[in-house]
C-alpha cells in the first residue's frame, strides 16, 4: 500500500509552492483583482512554476506583464517587480482616496 501525503490547502501564503499554484490558478480563473498584491509578491518566488503562473495570472487579470519574464535573471526580474509593486501601491492609494477629485492619474 502506498503512503500518500495529505492534500495541501491552497494558499498564496503557504511556504509550499504546491499549495500556492492552485491559489494562483483560482485567482486567474475568477479574474480576482484583490489577488493582485499576492500575485506580485509571488513574482519573487524561488520556484519558477510559481513565478510563471503568477505573471500569467497577472496578465489575465490586468492585461499587462510590465516587462516581467519568469525566466529572466534575478536582476532583470527585480526591475519588473518594482514596476508591479508601484502599480499595487498606486491602486492602494486610489482605493484609499475619499473622493475621485483627490486622485491623480499622473504617473
Let me know if residue 69 belongs to a domain.
Answer: yes
pLDDT of 4: 47
Let me know if residue 46 belongs to a domain.
Answer: yes
Let me know if residue 100 belongs to a domain.
Answer: no
| CA dist 75 → 38, 86, 101 (Å) | 21, 17, 38
Whether the pLDDT of residue 91 is over 50: the answer is yes
pLDDT of 94: 78
How far apart CA 22 and CA 34 sit, in angstroms, is: 16
pLDDT of 26: 95
Pull the grid cell for residue 20.
500556492
Let me know if residue 62 belongs to a domain.
Answer: yes
* This prediction's pTM: 0.79
Q: What domain range includes position 59?
A: 20-94
Let me know if residue 10 belongs to a domain.
Answer: no
| CA dist 48 → 1, 9, 43, 94 (Å) | 33, 20, 9, 32
Total structural domains in the chain?
1
pLDDT of 96: 66
pLDDT per residue as tens digits for the range 52-74:
999 999 999 999 999 999 999 99
How far apart CA 50 and CA 42 sit, in angstroms, is: 7
pLDDT per residue as tens digits for the range 1-56:
455 454 568 899 999 999 999 999 999 999 999 999 999 999 999 999 999 999 99
Let me know if residue 77 belongs to a domain.
Answer: yes
Let me know if residue 40 belongs to a domain.
Answer: yes
Let me know if residue 8 belongs to a domain.
Answer: no
Amino acid at each position: 500500500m502506498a503512503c500518500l501525503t495529505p492534500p495541501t490547502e491552497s494558499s498564496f501564503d503557504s511556504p509550499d509552492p504546491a499549495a500556492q499554484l492552485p491559489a494562483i490558478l483560482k485567482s486567474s480563473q475568477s479574474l480576482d483583482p484583490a489577488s493582485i498584491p499576492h500575485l506580485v509578491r509571488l513574482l519573487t518566488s524561488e520556484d519558477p512554476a510559481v513565478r510563471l503562473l503568477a505573471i500569467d495570472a497577472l496578465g489575465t487579470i490586468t492585461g499587462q506583464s510590465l516587462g516581467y519574464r519568469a525566466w529572466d535573471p534575478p536582476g532583470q526580474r527585480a526591475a519588473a517587480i518594482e514596476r508591479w509593486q508601484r502599480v499595487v501601491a498606486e491602486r492602494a492609494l486610489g482605493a484609499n482616496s475619499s473622493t475621485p477629485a483627490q486622485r491623480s492619474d499622473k504617473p
